[in-house]
Amino acid sequence: MKIFGIFGDPIEHSLSPAMQNAAFRALGLDACYFPFRITKERLEDAILGASAMGFGGLNLTIPLKEKALKIVIPDDLAEAIGAVNTVSFGEDIVGHNTDGLGAMKALEEARVKIKGSSALLIGAGGAARAIAYTLAKEGAEISIANRNPGKALELAGFIQGEGYGLEDLERLVPQADVIINATSVGMMEGDPRLFDGNLLHIGQVVFDIVYNRETEMLKDTVKIGAVAIDGVMMLVYQGAKALEIWTGLKPPIDVMEKAVREELKARER
């Protein structure tokens, strides 16, 4: 049996095991996918250990994506983005990034026009870097707001956008066509709102990459009558691309989505 896994801290929220194990079964593969809680400080040991033990591949989530860049050999896209969310093992340990593709496919599925749009990206971590890079390639005008304004400015400079602190959201939110939360805020019940939901208006698109629950941001979006997109399809599409990288096989998208949504319902009980 081939072992695959996802490293992160925290990791309990991850739906990748349910999704990837369903895909392996559908493809008839003798493989299994497990979650592992790994801190930043032990990431190098964990990746090298997985390689030594013959793992088939890895995914990386919060807060490991940028740190991994210094441990693996990044492909051109991961190096350009500055973050790794997928690791493949062969002669070399190679880092890939499928987050940007996943986000773009989720937006395309919702028929969101990106080219020429005004996009507000909240966050400046690994997922945000991938999304910012992809949106810029697609022709969006991007503003980035982050708890640490310095990181927002650094990422904004990378993609020729504008960087701000979270205190600027009150002004930025009403002006944006597309608003994307690329932070972990909303993952846990009781998390504070990033901004007052009354700042939203009809005609906007709000995409929250958090996928383990309906966030307050998305509830506010639905209440206002704007377009709300949860993080499920980004998870599915980025995971599907990772599966393709590891196996060379066509991923069963429908099976993967069904597994995620069923696991979400099970967790609500």
Q: Are 225 and 35 in contact (CB under 8 A)?
A: no
- Separation of alpha carbons 213 and 120, rounded Å: 22
Q: How many CA atoms lie within 13 A of 84 on its CB side?
A: 26
Alpha helices by DSSP H, listed for the chain, are 16-27, 43-52, 76-81, 99-109, 126-137, 149-159, 169-175, 216-224, 232-247, 253-268
Amino acid at position 139, single letter:
G
Q: Are 24 and 31 in contact (CB under 8 A)?
A: yes
- Is the N-terminal amide bond of 10 cis, ω within 30° of 0? yes
- Separation of alpha carbons 117 and 131, rounded Å: 14
Distance of CA 91 to the CA centre of its chain: 27
Q: How many CB atoms lie within 10 A of CB 29?
A: 18
Q: Which of 2, 65, 258, 265 is catalytic?
A: 65
- Separation of alpha carbons 185 and 226, rounded Å: 20
Amino acid at position 20, single letter:
Q
The residue with tokens 């986000």 is 103
**Annotated catalytic, 137?**
no
Amino acid at position 68, single letter:
A
Question: Catalytic residue numbers?
Answer: 65
